[in-house]
Amino acid sequence: MQWLHAFEPVPYLDAVSEMDRIVAGVREGTEDEAVWLLEHPPLYTAGTSAKTEDLVDARFPVFESGRGGQYTYHGPGQRVGYVILDLNKRQQVPDIKKYVWQLEEWIIRSLAEFDVSGARRAGRVGIWVDLENGQEAKIAALGVRVRHWVTFHGVSINVDPDLSHFSGIVPCGIKDHGVTSLAALGRKVSMQELDIALKRHFSGIFF
């Protein structure tokens, strides 16, 4: 298992190319599975279920991602985790729903280290938190793709991004709830601290 970290924004197409290379290597047995933790320059990605009307203002580059889900934003201050695992080896019967549950659980346990109670919401993808005003907001998004039962793409966690950048889209097609971040919740967390938490909780969930 290889853990890769980037602390300068990685161009999106460069990241996709590198993911493709690792996925092919994992399938062929020439490359170890990987978790790649990084940031991107400001951009929007469209999943396979993206609706044209949910792109409100294309102020940043827009990329077709091939992952599941709808529109999402990536940018500085957001930790993206690209998770490349061979489900044929990790699950007796490859199960995408189980894998998505594991990604959610990974985020929930990692956020708990910073006294943030993330939770799933029925019918809504991602991890959500309750706000002091009685509202709720998304703090992390998920979008996965699988090729020959090797996973790629993954998760994004809002550490301290510019939340106004999300206004160019309807994030994940959900209009009734906003987005938040660790910083907006009053948690000062560095990327390195979050990476440590993510690595610490990984093996207890993905086995």
Beta pairing partners, 145: 152
| The pair of three-digit structure tokens given for residue 198, joined into one six-digit string | 């993510």
Whole-angstrom CA distances from 190 to 27, 39, 180, 182 are: 33, 13, 16, 10
In 3D, which of 88, 51, 57, 41 has the Cα closest to residue 71? 51
Given 84, 137, 172, 191, the catalytic residue = 172
Mutual orientation of helices 191-202 and 96-112 as an angle, nearest 10°?
Answer: 130
Cα separation, 1 vs 24, whole angstroms = 15
Q: State yes or no: is 172 an active-site residue.
A: yes
| The pair of three-digit structure tokens given for residue 104, joined into one six-digit string | 């959610």
Catalytic residues: 172
